[in-house]
């Protein structure tokens, strides 16, 4: 991984973080879950588990293998902790797509009216809020791919360097100066990205699954009386 390139472009893909055996073990655990759990989101186009590591704590050791922990420590430092985890499965026949957007919301432990924290939401007793820009700029995301992913089964499309422009509304994208990159990621590989990077995802057209574990990390404390909803020290 080229740290300078990542911070400049806002994303990078890295292969072979997980072996086939490790991926197969992850899939085995996932396939043993009760998909009717009321905390899981299930539609014909998407299956998702929010607060994934809280819901499925036994998978933590498989997710944070030595290669992933070393990558985080080497390129971001020892003081980062995980603040959000989501698992989602885009089924083979999915018509679900996501238009260009930035990830502007974080998950917190309660609602507290604090200056700089806006656009509050609540979904299944989970509070979301848009924090100050300095918090968003500090976060980085790791997306672990359990399947080969390309433009035919919903690989992310991104706009390089868009994370450096603050809050960048999709309707303001100037396609005369911006370019789109499709992020191919092999099974067992990861994609790193900054949440402020504009990204989108197309429909699946090749009848192949796209299963991804989405993790977000920060080393920042939030405003007084507010904390991350899913703060996990992954080094222990």
Q: What is the pLDDT of residues 59-103, one digit of tens each?
A: 999 999 999 999 999 889 999 999 999 998 887 766 678 899 999
| 18 pLDDT more than 90 | yes
> Is 234 among the domain residues?
no
pLDDT at residue 45, as a whole number = 56
Q: Are the C-beta atoms of 142 and 192 separated by less than 8 Å?
A: yes
Give the integer Cα–Cα distance in Å for 84 and 54: 10
> Is 232 among the domain residues?
no
How would you classify the pairing of strands 210-218 and 140-145? antiparallel
> Is 205 among the domain residues?
yes
> Is 229 among the domain residues?
no
CATH number of the domain enclosing 26 = 2.60.120.620
pLDDT at residue 2, as a whole number = 67
pLDDT at residue 95, as a whole number = 67
Q: Residue 179: which pLDDT band, with cuts at 50, 70 and 90? A: very high
Q: What is the pLDDT of residues 110-122, one digit of tens each?
A: 999 999 999 999 9
Distances in Å between the Cα of 192 and the Cα atoms of 10, 42, 45, 131, 173 are 8, 26, 25, 21, 22
Closest Cα to residue 63, out of 25, 99, 90? 25
| 43 pLDDT more than 60 | yes
Give the integer Cα–Cα distance in Å for 126 and 200: 24
> Is 226 among the domain residues?
no
Angle at 69 (CA atoms; ends 75, 141), nearest 5 degrees: 65
> Is 181 among the domain residues?
yes
pLDDT at residue 135, as a whole number = 98
| 228 pLDDT more than 60 | yes
pLDDT at residue 206, as a whole number = 87
Look over the chain and give the mean of its residue pLDDT values, rounded to a whole number.
92
Give the integer Cα–Cα distance in Å for 6 and 10: 5
Stretch 144-160: mean pLDDT, rounded? 95
The tokens for 69 are: 């922990």
pLDDT at residue 40, as a whole number = 77
> Is 160 among the domain residues?
yes
Q: What is the pLDDT of residues 196-220, one digit of tens each?
A: 999 999 888 888 889 999 999 999 9
Domain count along the chain: 1
Q: Residue 35: which pLDDT band, with cuts at 50, 70 and 90? A: confident
Q: What is the DSSP string of the chain?
A: --HHHHHHHSEEEE--SS-HHHHHHHHHHHHTS-TT-TTEEE-SS-EEEESHHHHSGGGHHHHS-HHHHHHHHHHH-TT-EEEEEEEEEE-TT----EEEE----EEESS----TT-EEEEEETTEEEEE--HHHHHH-EEEEEESS-B-TTBT-EEE-TTGGGGSS--GGG--TTT---EE--B-TT-EEEE-TTS-EEEPPB-SS--EEEEEEEEE----STT--BTT-B-TT-
pLDDT at residue 149, as a whole number = 95
The tokens for 169 are: 């509304």
Q: What is the pLDDT of residues 1-16, one digit of tens each?
A: 667 889 999 999 999 9
Q: Which domain holds residue 72?
A: 3-218
> Is 71 among the domain residues?
yes
| 20 pLDDT more than 60 | yes
Q: Residue 34: which pLDDT band, with cuts at 50, 70 and 90? A: confident
Q: Is this prediction's pTM over 0.75?
A: yes
């Amino acid at each position: 991984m080229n740290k300078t390139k990542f911070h400049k472009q806002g994303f990078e893909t890295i292969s072979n973080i997980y072996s086939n055996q490790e991926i197969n073990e992850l899939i085995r655990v996932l396939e043993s879950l009760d998909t009717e759990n009321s905390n899981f989101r299930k539609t014909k186009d998407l299956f998702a588990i929010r607060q994934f590591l809280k819901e499925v704590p036994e998978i933590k050791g498989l997710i944070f293998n030595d290669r992933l922990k070393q990558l985080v420590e080497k390129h971001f430092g020892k003081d980062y902790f995980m603040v959000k985890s989501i698992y989602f499965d885009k089924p083979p026949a999915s018509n679900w797509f996501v238009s260009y957007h930035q990830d502007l919301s974080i998950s917190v432990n309660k609602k507290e009216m604090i200056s700089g924290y806006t656009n509050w939401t609540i979904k299944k007793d989970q509070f979301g809020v848009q924090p100050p820009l300095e918090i968003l700029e500090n976060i980085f995301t790791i997306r672990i791919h359990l399947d080969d992913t390309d433009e035919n089964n919903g690989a992310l499309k991104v706009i390089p360097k868009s994370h450096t422009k603050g809050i960048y509304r999709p309707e303001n994208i100037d396609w005369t100066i911006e370019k789109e990159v499709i992020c191919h990621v092999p099974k067992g590989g990861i994609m790193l990205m900054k949440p402020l990077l504009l990204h989108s995802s197309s429909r699946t057209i090749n009848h192949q699954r796209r299963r991804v574990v989405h993790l977000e990390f920060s080393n920042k404390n939030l405003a007084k009386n507010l904390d991350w909803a899913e703060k996990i020290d992954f080094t222990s």
